[in-house]
Amino acid sequence: MGADFAAVRERVARLRSGLPALDVASAARDVVVIASSSRGGSSIFAEVLRRSPSLLHFRAEVNPQLRLFGCEGDEDDTVPAEFPIPPGLGLALGADCGRPADRLDDDAAIDAFAREIAARLVLQWPELPIELGPVLADVRACTAPGPFGDAQAFYARFFARLAARWPSFHPGAYDLDRRGIEGIGPSVPFVPVAPVEEPPYVLPLPWRHATPNELATQPLIIKTPSNAYRLPWLRRLFPNARVRVLHLTRNAAASINGLYDGWRFPGFHSHEVGNLDIGGYSDTTPGGDRWWKFDRPPGWRAYSHAPLEQVCAYQWTSAHRAVLAETASDSFSLRFEDVLGSRQRQEDAMGRLSDWLGAPVHDKLAGVLAQGLPLVMATEQPRHRRWFARVEMLGPVCAQPEVRAVLDALGYVGDPTGWE
């Protein structure tokens, strides 16, 4: 049984009452949509871009807000261009718009931080009786004014309190190092009940909300793979903005392998659809008989009884076909392999990106890339050519004509064993 979206909207709005919120849909002047397939590197890439003070972001993906406001296809993730823009959506998105902060300046900042955490918890656990008072007390007990410090340590302390209050609360649903939360909450694998947000759940961090001047002068980055099926509608959502597409590509073998791992991982549940019999998933993974994961491309139901590798190939192929069909003259294509590559390749890629964005991100990100890429939404520790462990399965999948056609369009040619 799904969540009551109207009730959840009301609870979230009440918890966020008094916090800064601009109507980002009307205020934004430059919107950049990172369009990619799921497991195409967009989470890591967006986290790198978050380190630049020249760019604005949402706290996380926009799917939860679109779902709350009914901007989600009944059958798949397509939102038609003519779909009405719901009143209030721009303000709800604006509450999440800004950039990360590294400190909580005073008690008022801690209270605002607690409000954001409480609102996010409602999106993740709508069945729990989440109220501001107890959450505020827990947050105050787990942090103090000043530099925020170690987010992992903060959330380990905070989650221990939540798990003691609500036995069904499961820290394993979050994008955290599992070693830091061992022994907190249930020991059984996590299977969601009726969330609005898709797991792994977001961990709110200290945040500075965007100002009207920033929205008028700085690019707003949007990272949500399902947006591949919403690009014409997104142009209508931001009527006063130049909406550009940053097409992030990654070779099919690496992305399909990441999808394969993600389907078998205790997270990434997107829709409870029932009646699934996906070989390699439904027979191995808790909830695998009913939970679809990642995006729902048009025609996804035809794969509800297919082998998992075929499901993943269809998701990769469909997303990039959708982006290629909508790419305009002012789009920009970037290979995730360049972001993963040598220092020179990284600098060249970020230099080209800076020129296209019209924002000085290159120099700001050089030091970040030198320290290594952040670990975000990962099913395991990244390693070079991790997909080679499944090359016997992935080689034939990538050789399928429909996959090969998209690879050719994206410029990935030759034998897959030569890809990075």
Residue 175 has a pLDDT of 82
Quick one: tokens of 294? 């990642």
3-state secondary structure of 271: strand
CA neighbor of 319 nearest in space, from 416, 388, 403: 403
Residue 282 identity: S
Residue 366 has a pLDDT of 56
Within the chain, how many helices (H) and strands (E) appear?
17, 11
Give residue-wise pLDDT tens across range 216-239: 999 999 999 999 999 999 999 999
Residue 1 has a pLDDT of 46
Quick one: tokens of 285? 């993974």
| Residue 10 burial (CB count, 10 A) | 12
Cis peptide before 200 (omega within 30 of 0): yes
Q: Are 231 and 33 in contact (CB under 8 A)?
A: yes
Please list the ranges in the chain whose pLDDT falls under 70.
1-2, 362-385, 415-420
**Domains in the chain: boundaries:** 5-18+61-209, 214-418
CA neighbor of 158 nearest in space, from 146, 177, 140, 175: 140
CA neighbor of 387 nearest in space, from 251, 247, 249: 251
Q: Are 410 and 323 in contact (CB under 8 A)?
A: no
3-state secondary structure of 399: coil
